[in-house]
Structure 1
Amino acid sequence: MEDMKTRCIMIKRKRYFLLISIIIVSIFSLWFIILDFSRFISLDYSYDIPPSAVLKRINVALAAIICWSVGRDGIDPKDSRRMKAAFVFIILGEAAFNIGERAIGIGMFALCQTLLIIRNSTGLRYKWVKAGFKQKRKLFIPCLIIITSAIIPFLYDYLFKPDNIFLIVYIYGIILSISLWTGHACSILGLLPKVNSRMAASGVTCFFCCDVLVGLDAVLEAGLPWLLANSFIWIFYIPALVLLALSCYRYN
């Protein structure tokens, strides 16, 4: 009885911790969004307005802490370990980008996405066999698009250009697309509990949108299109991290 009472107290504290963390993330997000979009008023093409960069990194750290604090409240120990490792690579990727090591940063995020693929596709083969025609159709068309997108660069001989960054980005793009597909497969086929699978699917979708915007940010010249892409990156990135962090908790 005493153990049960202690457990209930711990669960209540964990809920308060999650609620407070989400409130802080929301306040900081609103703050840096206002700062980012204020650049449209003066047409300021600087990358960040202080303290926008600091607020963004604090939110990344808070999302990681939410994941790492799962403890006994996770879906299962293996799932918790995978998600904790994924957030380690996210933090390492952020650190690499901050010191200008783009290739290493992309590599860290590729490892993160690989772990998300493994995590979100657990039980996929069994569920696929049992799935109905409508479920398979929803997943088959996106899968075909991913395969086509992977083949096109070979047809145009892009991969043989002496640009290592392009090759790294190309490989990361394939991994990211597979991660998006497995995230939605997780939700459609019910590979995780309902709430968790929806969070996972929403998280990888936001991650995908964020990385597409990062790509646009890298290739666009300073101007309104660049400013728009740059301002929306973190609007997708922070929700992606928070949703993925929360997806490893048990909600029964």
Structure 2
Amino acid sequence: MLLQTTAQKIVFSLLALFLLVTTGKDWFDFYSCGAVSQCLSEAGTLQLYTKSVMTTLLTVLAFMKAPSAFCSRDGKLLRIAFVFSLIADYCFSLTTVIAPNSGSLGTLLGISFFMVFQTVLIYRHSRTSESDTKLPRVYALLAIAVLAGIILLATGTLELTVAIVVVYGVFVVTSMIVGILAPRKEYFPSKNALFVRWGMVAFFCCDACVGLSMVTGENHSALQAVAEIANNLIWWFYVPAQLMLIRASAKPE
């Protein structure tokens, strides 16, 4: 137990260190480049690696915490969710390094895997007991959103990237609402339910920053500056959100 606690503290310390390094480099680049997307993109290679390290550390921490979850099933769902978030983050960051000419492929794959991540979280947060295996009714809404996205894409109403972003928006808003309203205190300990709620709110804020970061404008324009500032804030919402979702699996003290 002592060895496990020490290992968790080491992982958490490394996570804090890499978050500070990433933040410092993000704002240094913004100071050096200003609101110029191309300059910031070329200067931000280090952050692609540090963000990959952070998401790996978060996943390691989730797997370390899962065996001591308040129930074994929640620990399993936690591990499944974090595997998909790890793959999604790798798609966002490492695809740019491995295949720099892949265009929006990494973004599309990343969003798709985060849809699966949110689907698992909705299932996790809507459980009412250890033996509850029924699918959440809200999955019907997600299916409708996917179908609508396919129709809008097939008819040429929306392009692929926009369609996937819109559909993901439905997923993350639904997941946040489920996270706020669904956790049952007779299943989730009261503190755990609180961590779920605030974790999902933080995750929504993270994705809102991601959305703002995708809105581009002219170099040095106010719109481009807002996009770059939002980009620099993403991980300050993302890391706490993931940590709270991990903490939500802990046994009551």
Give the TM-score range, shorter chain: 0.7 to 0.9
Structure 2 matches for 1:18-33, cutoff 5 A? Answer: 18-33=8-23
Q: Secondary structure at the match of 2:214?
A: helix
Structure richer in helix, relative to its length? 1
- Rounded to whole Å, the distance in 1 between the matches of 2:251 and 2:199 is 17
- Rounded to whole Å, the distance in 2 between the matches of 1:104 and 1:40 is 27
- Rounded to whole Å, the distance in 1 between the matches of 2:87 and 2:74 is 20
- Rounded to whole Å, the distance in 1 between the matches of 2:171 and 2:251 is 27
Task: Tell me the alpha carbon deviations over residues 96-125 of structure 1, each in whole angstroms, 9 at most, x when there is no partner.
Answer: 22323322221110010011111111129x
**Superposition TM-score, scaled by structure 1 size:** 0.75
- Which residue, out of 11, 14, 22, partners 2:4? 14
| Structure 1 residues 72 and 238: CA distance shift in structure 2, 3 A | closer
- Rounded to whole Å, the distance in 1 between the matches of 2:186 and 2:208 is 27
Q: Displacement of 1:43 after TM fit? A: 3.1
Structure 2 matches for 1:75-94, cutoff 5 A? Answer: 75-94=70-89
- Rounded to whole Å, the distance in 2 between the matches of 1:43 and 1:192 is 47
Name 1:211's counterpart in structure 2: 207
- Rounded to whole Å, the distance in 1 between the matches of 2:232 and 2:184 is 31
- Rounded to whole Å, the distance in 2 between the matches of 1:212 and 1:182 is 18
Task: Tell me the alpha carbon deviations over residues 58-104 of structure 1, each in whole angstroms, 9 at most, x when there is no partner.
Answer: 11111100111235311211111111111111111122223233222
Q: Secondary structure at the match of 1:101?
A: helix
Q: How many matched pairs? A: 215
- Rounded to whole Å, the distance in 2 between the matches of 1:188 and 1:72 is 21
Stretch deviating more after TM superposition (192-201 or 44-53): 44-53
Unaligned runs of 5+ in 1: 1-9, 125-142
- What code does the residue aligned with 2:78 have? M
Q: Secondary structure at the match of 1:248?
A: coil
Q: Which is higher, the Rg of structure 1 or of structure 2?
A: 1
Q: Displacement of 1:246 after TM fit? A: 2.5
Unaligned runs of 5+ in 2: 96-104, 130-137
Q: Are the aligned partners of 1:25 and 1:59 in contact in 2 as well (CA < 8 Å)?
A: yes
Percent identity over paired residues? 24
- What code does the residue aligned with 2:241 have? A
- What code does the residue aligned with 2:237 have? F
Structure 2 matches for 1:222-237, cutoff 5 A? Answer: 222=219, 223-237=224-238
What is the RMSD computed on CA atoms of the aligned residues? 2.7
- What code does the residue aligned with 1:107 have? S
Name 2:120's counterpart in structure 1: 115
- Which residue, out of 103, 116, 122, partners 2:108? 103
Q: Secondary structure at the match of 1:122?
A: coil
